[in-house]
Every structure is written in structure tokens, then in C-alpha cells.
Amino acid sequence: MLPEQRAVMDLLEDGFGRLKVLVVGDVMLDRYIFGEVDRISPEAPVPVLRHAQRYARPGGAANVAMNLAGLGCQAFLCGFWGSDPDRQELDAILQTNHIDTLGMVTSTLPTISKTRIVGRTQQLLRLDIESRDAYPQIECDHLRERAVSLVSKMHAVILSDYAKGALTQPLCEAVIRAARDLNIPILADPKTPDFSKYSGATTVCPNLSELSVATGVPAHHTPELLAAARVLLLEHGFDFLTVTMSEKGITVLQPEGSYHSPARAREVYDVSGAGDTVIATLAASLAGGLKIVTAVELANVAAGIVVGKVGTIPITANELVTLMTPSTGVMSTDKILDTERLIHRVSEWRASGETIVFTNGCFDLLHVGHITLLEDCRRFGSKLVLGLNADASVCRLKGPTRPIVGERERARVMAALASVDAVVLFAEDTPLELIQALQPDVLVKGGDYTIDTVVGHEVVLAQGGRVEIVPTVEGFSTTNIVRKLTASHAQEAIQ
């Protein structure tokens, strides 16, 4: 479980949406052509790719912006592109993803593009289109002015350096100075061996190879490499240094110590774009007020997700929410939600392909019948939402002596169960309004019901869901427990 779990969930579910993050750097268009290879060309000893599909995605600094947008942030992009069809294609994708491009400068040089030829999951060839010429000075001055003018409106700034010429020394110095003056976190992803270019940044995020080039220490000599990195940290005035170490995870170096977060990847298919995901998640987390350790842990989780995909596919908030809310992985209090937050969480789960199951009840004194019902519910889907009658509702339904256990305590007990993913209280006599709001895929009721007597069945069936009736466990009910306790107490009084 991550540190500051509740704060992380708050950011993922609605907090990132209020944050503005600026990405300044080398903007590109990434194309992918996929197919199958089953023979060698008779014309030359090269594989023949039978085309299956193709697509284009924003690359470089634009991919960082895509990751920010995926997290829910307001992403702003500042860099160069040309006057060509690639620019039009890239701009259309960015606009579709609500990324602000007012910081972009149109150059006399072409839009940078990379085309990857992929056989199944294996990259066979990459074709790059870019000029070897430097950007004209007037264009560099224009970019610097635009970037600096945007800093004051932001909550964080990222310098995404792919060594293509957008991030000149004067631009970096001006943007870092502007961000520091306003106490705004500024993060840099380096592609040059001279880290002085980023002096004064909050953090620089090199991988082991980049750090090796910058220090002259071999990448496989990890202790010596990290010791040399600490020298860079102090020399250039970084608050901390974030070293991505591939399958080893992420190490954070600070003047007073270090912290290591082990890798979270389940299965690695493609590491391209993982660094973009790390710096985007880190920047958004720091902008949202998370501590450094929490920010790094969340970035590590995000990286573990994207390396399981093929190509530069950005992270999304719903993927993180889904991964971070398994039944046994969060505190019980983090599962108790109001209706508004629950609707948001359910939408995140559904976007990740989860099947939402809903059941409801008073659950006054927890017994084996309740446990059996909830375990049965989990058989019908991957996420179980429990609607819990509030105290006033229970009193109207069961009489003035009920509930025996108050709503807050009942909610806490139910949320502690591994089979339950979320608990929400409702004050009405029936959960109809809640069902209408959540639109669950499966509605489950225990007892002697028929489908047409279950409250909310019309709502669920109308949107293509289903209703399941599970039998109750004979002899177990809260009412029976209360009767036994009352009879026992009366017997003791007689004696």
C-alpha cells in the first residue's frame, strides 16, 4: 500500500483535474506499423512484414503531456513543430486529448517524426524524419518567451529533453529561474551529459545509462554510480535526484539520504515511454502536494503499468485507481465513499474493464449469512459495491430498537471485508436512486425474491445488465440473533 493512500486516491479521482502542468521540450510524432512476419524476402535477406494495422501517437515531450492528460491534469505543451502534414496529424491528436498547444512555435524545420515497424511485439526497424540543422535563433528566442510567460500560470513544469534542440541552455535557465521564483516544482528529463543545463531544478530524472554518461561511471557499477550522482546533486543544487533503474526500480537521492522504490512491473513488453510516464506522474504528484516518497512510489506503479504495453501508450488515472483498489490492498476507511466519489470510482473501474456488482442491506449484526451473500456476489463480477442502509432507514424498516450497531461502525466493519470494494450509505428506504446513479452491471439480492420484485431490476436490465438471486443461509439472520440474546437475558433474569 502506498504512503498517503487517501491523498493519492483523492488526487486520482478528482484532484489532478485542478492542476496545470507545463511541458517544455522536444515534440515529436510517433507512428507504429504492426504486422506479422512469416517469411524472408526473396529480393534481399530481410523479413517481410504483412501489414495488419497502423496508428500514430504523440511522442517525446508530447507523450509527457499525454501522460499528464491521462492522469486528469490540465496539460500545456511548449515546443517546435513544422508546417507540414505531420504537424496537422499531431495537433489533431493533442486537441482530441484536450492538451493546450498555445505554447507551440511553428518552425521552418519539419515536425520530428519516428516510424516504428513492429512484427508482433518485436521492433524491426525505425525510420526517423528530422532535420540535422539547429533551430534558428529567432525561433529559439520566441520559444523561450512563450515558455517563461506560461510558467506563472502553472502548478508544475517539466523540461522534456530529447536532445533535438528545443531545450537550449538559455531557455532552461530562464524557465528554471521563473519556476523557482514562484516556488513551482520543476523537473527535467535529461538527454545531455552536462547536467549544468538543469541547475536549480527541483529534480532531474536520468536513467542509469544517462547517469553513466554524465558521471563517467559504468552503469553496472551501481554503488559507485549513485555516489557520483550525489556529487551532481550537490553541485547543481537539485532538491533531489530521481534515478530510474529499469527492472531495479527507482532510487531517490537527497542531500541527507536516499530512498529506493522496487520495480512494480508485472511483465515487460516495451520500455519506450516509461521515462515520460515517471516524470509526468512525479510532477503531477508534487504539484498535488504529495511527499517525495509517495510521489516516487506512485510513479513507479505507473511505470509498471506502461511497460506492459506495446508502444508509447500513456498512463491513465483509471488504470492506477483499479490497480490501487483491490479489496485487500486498501484501508477499510478508504473504501467508504459518498455517492459522488463512488460514481467517479465506478467509472474508473468500468473504464478499465471491470464488472461492477451491487448489493444492499442493513447488515446490522454481521453473521455467516451476510458473509455467504457477499462471497456469492463476487462470483458475478470483479468489483463489489455494497449499499448500506443508514440508521434512519434501518429504524423505519426494522423498528425503533434498530439498528443495534450504528451506521459508521457498520460501514467500517463491512469495508474491512476482502470481498467488498466499496461501501456507500443511503438514507432512503430502497437503494433505487443509488442504482440509477451507479448503473451496475450485476444486481444481486439474497432471499426469496424473483427478478421482477428486486428494487432496481428495471434499471439494470434496461442497460444490458443482469439480476442474480442467491439463497439465504437458513437459520442465520440478525433478527434471530437478537431473539436469542433477548431470550438468554430473560432466562438469566429469572434465575
Name the more confident of 319 and 41.
41
Q: What's the pLDDT tens digit per position in 90-111?
A: 999 999 999 999 999 999 999 9
Q: What is the pLDDT of residue 4?
A: 84
The DSSP element (H or E) to which 118 belongs, if any, is strand 112-119
**Per-residue model confidence (pLDDT) at position 479:** 58
Q: What is the pLDDT of residue 383?
A: 92
Task: Report the range of poorest mean pLDDT among 120-134, 301-315, 365-379.
Answer: 301-315
Mean pLDDT calculated for residue range 319-326 = 74
Residues 321-333, mean pLDDT to the nearest whole number: 65
Which segments within 130-205 are labelled E, that is strand? 156-160, 186-189, 203-204
β-bridge pairing 112-119 and 122-129:
antiparallel
pLDDT at 351 over 80: no
Residue 76 CA: distances (Å) to CA of 164, 275, 285, 329: 19, 18, 16, 34
Question: Can you tell me the distance from the alpha carbon of 57 to that of 352, in angstroms, rounded to the nearest whole number?
Answer: 20
Which DSSP string do the residues of 129-148 spell out, in sequence order? E--SSPPPHHHHHHHHHHHH
Task: Tell me if domain 3-324 and domain 336-485 are identical in fold.
Answer: no
Binding residues for ATP: 207-210
What's the CATH number for 3-324?
3.40.1190.20
Collapsing DSSP to helix, strand or coil, 306 comes out as: helix
Q: Catalytic residue positions? A: 276
Does the pLDDT at position 163 exceed 70?
yes
Residue 439's pLDDT band, with cuts at 50, 70 and 90, is very high
d(CA 291, CA 360): 37
pLDDT score of 230 more than 60: yes
Which residues lie below 8 Å from residue 75, measured CB to CB, with a gap of 6+? Answer: 21, 23, 65, 66, 68, 69, 98, 99, 100
Average pLDDT over the chain reads 89
pLDDT, residue 269, reads 47
Res 290: pLDDT: 95
The pLDDT value given to residue 204 = 97
Q: Which residues contact 353 (CB under 8 A, 6 or more apart)?
A: none
In this predicted structure, the answer to whether residue 327 has a pLDDT above a threshold of 50 is: no
Kindly report the CA angle at 484 between 480 and 360, in degrees rounded to 5? 30
Domain boundaries, the chain: 3-324, 336-485
Judge: domain 336-485, CATH 3.90.1150.110.
no
Identify the residue with better confidence: 88 or 4: 88
* Section 52-57 average pLDDT: 90
* pLDDT tens profile 263-306: 765 554 445 668 899 999 999 999 999 999 999 999 999 988 88
Q: Looking at residues 204-213, what average pLDDT do you find?
A: 95
